[in-house]
Amino acid sequence: MKKIEAIIKPHKLDEVKDALNALGVAGMTVTDVRGYGRQKGHTEIYRGAEYTVDFVPKVKIEVVVDDSIAEPAEHAILMAARTDKIGDGKIFTYDVDGAVRIRTGERGPEAL
């Protein structure tokens, strides 16, 4: 099993969700996060005053999938979240040692 963690632009969430649903990835954890990578922050000017946005709002998606669909899932996120602009985000993939569905006690891929 693999855990895929993607940091994406907020307005891309629905497209990414739809792309993962289409692959049969039903569950995901979504968190509102703020951060920066190469994008750094940016400066906005409002009513003549300048202010800096140090941390840019992003959405973090976490899904755990069976090894067999890890690559398609990663590709689906990549295609759905891409705008070809700086700040499109990152995708990280990790190995997952185990999973348990608490309600039923099922383990491994069955618990996903």
CA separation for the pair 26, 40 (Å, rounded): 33
Residue 33 interacts with another protein (CB under 8 A): yes or no:
yes
Extended beta strands in 39-84, E state: 42-46, 49-53, 56-65
Closest distance to another protein from the beta carbon of 58 (Å): 9
Binder of another protein out of 47, 97, 98, 104 (CB under 8 A): 47
Binding mask 53-72 for another protein (x = CB under 8 A): x-xxx---------------
CA separation for the pair 83, 81 (Å, rounded): 7
Pick 21 or 68: Cβ nearer another protein: 21
Q: Is 5 helix (H, G, I), strand (E, B) or coil?
A: strand
Alpha helices for the chain (secondary structure H): 13-22, 67-81
Residue 110 interacts with another protein (CB under 8 A): yes or no:
no
Residues near another protein (CB under 8 A) are 9-11, 14, 32-34, 39-40, 42-47, 49, 51, 53, 55-57, 83-87
